[in-house]
Amino acid sequence: MLFALSTNFPRSEDLQQVVNALINFNDTEVVGGVDDALSTKGKSKGHTLGCLAGSFASTSFEAGHKQRRTQPQVGRWHSFRKKEEVEMDNSTGGSGRGLSESEGVDVSWPQRKDGGVNWEEVWNRLVSEHSLPLPDGLRQTNPSQIETLLTFSSPYPDKLTHTISKYLFSSISNTHPSTYPHYACLIAAPTHFVTGREVTLILDGEIYGEGAVGVAFLRREQATEVTEPRSRVEFLGVKRLSKPMSVTSREGNMINGLDQSNPTRLLLDSLSESGICSSTSQYSLQSPASFFKDGEQFALGVLDANGQISRTYKITAGDPSSRGGSLSLDAQRAPEVGSIVLFLHRSSNAPVEIPESLFPSAGQLTSKHVLGFLAVPEPLSGVSALETSPRDMASRVLENTFLVPSTGGFTVSEKTGDNHSDPTWSCSMPGGIAMVEWY
């Protein structure tokens, strides 16, 4: 059984009672976690309790990832310092680069032709070397037998998602894209003040405060091309701010050039042209991150060949007058050079509406099943983060639907047949929703 519970029980004892009931229901085949709450508007304003449950033919597993990526800072801007400066920094430990190889970090820093550190190669090395052993629950499962794989995780599960993505896609032929498995990882809700754990994840009667738990749904013997699962990603309530641009320079999680121009300046110009701000001059006199204020969300959207938004990268900081106007993204890696992108905006004051397609009409029966992860904003005082518009009901049942909200967002791996693109990407932009649907 797969389940998810919201954190907003009136008392922690109530939450514990429900968790115990789920564990005791079947302590050998239960996977789930405590996640963020849905919010509603109308007569039932406020956060509503959420409980999702489903039963599937599947294989469950647990994976630890204690040495995960640290939380992204304002930006990973790297000055290209001389070798002796790097060696001095290693000796003092000032930047954390003095870790030994026994601690999992290769300290032989690759050099650029000008004598500086080649940070792009360092970044690629970290991505490739910092992975995890495959979870025991997946070792005996042939990846070709997996239809969909879901995980609930503590923050920044980069090594885990890299390992699972490689496991799922490395041996699959590019000639049959309809049979590619679907993988999504949800960042579980923080529960420090609810259960005393960083996150609360449950597998087969055991409670985990870090790492990840997951479930792999096995292929159905009678599945046809019509009933094969289909995945899709939508970005609800997102407004386009700019014309398409090309990424001309990037490094780590930084965008250093768009159309050979200053990225932050281009963003500020887009804000002015769209009417979000009356003048960009006010920002040059304030804090560089003043326009990344509470209540406003900005992102870089990647366009596919049809001009549709296929991925989003939330923008966390930028300064038009410093570091060439680089933009910092909430991601492990920025989009590749040559990617076609545009700026996006979403107000956190606007509710994230559940897609109307998930609400069947009265009396209508549907055979469609949906598994979905939804990125929601941090709740603001007096503001509803998510609504079940247009219904003002105290409770609502979504038939055949497992939809979990998260303020931390989610990670998706999607194989498209393009061997040159990374199949794994993360979405923390509110309104992003990843769904797997089947009949």
Percent of the chain surpassing pLDDT 90: 26
Greater confidence (112 vs 260) lies with 260
pLDDT at 42 over 50: no
Looking at residue 312, what is its pLDDT? 95
Looking at residue 79, what is its pLDDT? 45
Looking at residue 145, what is its pLDDT? 84
Q: What is the mean pLDDT of residues 189-211?
A: 87
Following DSSP, what letter does each residue of 121-174 receive, concatenated? HHHHHHHHH---PPPHHHHTS-GGGEEEEEEEESS--HHHHHHHHHHHHTT--T
Spatial contact of 203 and 137, defined as CB atoms under 8 Å apart: no
* Least confidently predicted of 20-24, 90-94, 187-191, 418-422: 90-94
Looking at residue 91, what is its pLDDT? 37
pLDDT at 93 over 50: no
pLDDT at 333 over 80: yes
What pTM was estimated for this model as a whole?
Answer: 0.77
Nearest Cα neighbor of 61 from 155, 144, 132 is 132
Amino acid at 68: R
Q: What is the mean pLDDT of residues 108-127?
A: 57
Q: What is the mean pLDDT of residues 267-290?
A: 63
CA atoms within 13 A on the CB side of 36: 25
Q: What is the mean pLDDT of residues 97-123?
A: 50
Ramachandran class of 280: left when φ > 0, alpha when ψ lies in -120 to 50, beta otherwise: alpha
pLDDT at 108 over 80: no
Nearest Cα neighbor of 432 from 272, 290, 235, 142 is 235
* Average pLDDT for the chain: 74
C-beta atoms surrounding 14 within 10 Å = 11
In the chain, where the domains are located: 2-66+133-230+350-438, 239-347
> How far is 34 from 38, CA to CA, in rounded Å?
13
Give pLDDT tens digits for 217-244. Answer: 888 777 677 778 888 899 998 999 999 9
How is residue 42 annotated by DSSP? G
Looking at residue 291, what is its pLDDT? 56
Give pLDDT tens digits for 53-75. Answer: 666 666 777 876 554 555 554 44
C-beta atoms surrounding 235 within 10 Å = 22
